[in-house]
């Protein structure tokens, strides 16, 4: 049966301050190596995500362009009935209303999920009421 390797002879004779210093040095080296590893992993993940992010941005540009085209077509469709200026006004106000509702709903959703919980008034544990403090 193989036995555990014997500790080095300098560790047996080294004073405690030297051993503590060596331990701290090894810990610092380990921490630096872990940080380099985490940085390398994060960089790798970001580099892998860049093509997908670019594709999403390009797709978003085309969707936005199609939205502008659709709004222009809607204005052209309404122009014979309402006139060009009134059709543009109706479409502009309609899109502003939809955008405003979307912003309000998003804001309400974020407020419900706020990172910082709302301030709550805690009960007074001293037993005194504000009226008693005035007296």
- Please write the tens of the pLDDT for every residue from 71-103: 999 999 999 999 999 999 999 999 999 999 999
Q: How much is the pLDDT for 1?
A: 47
Ranges of each domain in the chain: 13-114
Question: What is d(CA 18, CA 100) in angstroms, rounded to the nearest whole number?
Answer: 68
On whether the CB atoms of residues 96 and 109 are closer than 8 A, the answer is no
CA–CA distances in Å: residue 79 to residues 52, 84, 98: 40, 4, 21
pLDDT, tens digit, 9 for 90 and up, residues 24-60: 999 999 999 999 999 999 888 888 888 888 999 999 9
pLDDT higher than threshold 60 for residue 6: no
From CA 60, how far away is CA 79, in angstroms rounded? 28
Give yes or no for a contact between 78 and 93, defined as CB atoms under 8 angstroms apart: no
């Amino acid at each position: 049966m193989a036995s555990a390797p014997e500790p080095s002879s300098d560790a047996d004779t080294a004073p405690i301050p030297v051993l503590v210093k060596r331990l701290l040095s090894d810990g610092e080296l380990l921490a630096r190596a872990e940080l380099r590893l985490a940085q390398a992993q994060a960089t790798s993940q970001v580099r892998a995500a860049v093509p997908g992010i670019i594709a999403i941005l390009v797709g978003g540009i085309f969707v936005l362009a199609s939205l502008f085209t659709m709004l222009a077509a809607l204005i052209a469709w309404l122009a014979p009935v309402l006139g060009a200026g009134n059709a543009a006004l109706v479409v502009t106000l309609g899109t502003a209303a939809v955008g405003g509702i979307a912003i309000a709903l998003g804001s309400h959703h974020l407020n419900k999920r706020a990172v910082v919980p709302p301030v709550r008034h805690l009960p007074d544990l001293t037993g005194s009421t504000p009226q008693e403090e005035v007296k």
